[in-house]
């Protein structure tokens, strides 16, 4: 059984909330995002920052956006959408769409999805909803 480090995440979450720097972001970008440790089968972040790549789906303002967590684990599943990012196959985990505050973002974007791939992801999300 995997033990989740809620206490470690709590410290990072508190530091993240107090951060004065607000990273900028745009739709189609992929950023490292402090997702944290979550409940049950909700996706968790990894590493000492509890982060993972997140695709920005919809920017509401300079502070909040809808994002979808990503994984390098390839699955043949309607909730996983296969993309090619930086010459590597990855999946956007459609069922993990959620609202994020930009304080969770770490640094600059890792890159941007092509318009074609981004529109395909959005279409898959719409179909799922």
pLDDT of residue 1: 66
Instruction: Give mean pLDDT, residues 92-103.
Output: 96
CATH topology of domain 6-128: SH3 type barrels. (2.30.30)
- The confidence band for 44, taking pLDDT boundaries of 50, 70 and 90, is confident
Structure tokens at 70: 């990503």
Express each pLDDT in 55-86 by its tens digit: 999 999 999 999 999 999 999 999 999 999 99
Element (H, E) at 7: helix 6-18
**Domain segments of the chain as ranges:** 6-128
**Candidate from 5-9, 93-97, 123-127 with smallest mean pLDDT:** 5-9
Nearest Cα to 128, choosing from 83, 71, 81? 81
pLDDT of residue 39: 85
What does residue 60 show for φ and ψ, rounded to 5 degrees? Answer: -90, -35
Instruction: Give mean pLDDT, residues 12-19.
Output: 93
**From CA 129, how far away is CA 122, in angstroms rounded?**
11
**Candidate from 44-48, 49-53, 61-65, 80-84 with smallest mean pLDDT:** 44-48
């Amino acid at each position: 059984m995997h033990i989740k480090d809620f206490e470690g995440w709590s410290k990072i979450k508190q530091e993240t909330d107090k951060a004065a720097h607000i990273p900028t972001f745009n739709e189609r970008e992929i950023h490292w995002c402090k997702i944290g440790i979550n409940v049950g089968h909700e996706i968790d972040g990894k590493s000492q920052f509890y982060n993972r790549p997140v695709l920005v789906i919809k920017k509401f303002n300079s502070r909040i956006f809808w994002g979808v967590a990503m994984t390098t684990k390839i699955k043949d599943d309607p909730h996983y959408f296969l993309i090619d990012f930086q010459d590597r196959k990855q999946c956007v985990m459609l069922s993990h769409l959620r609202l994020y505050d930009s304080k969770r973002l770490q640094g600059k974007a890792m890159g941007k999805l092509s318009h074609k791939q981004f529109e395909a992801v959005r279409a898959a999300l719409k179909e799922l909803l």
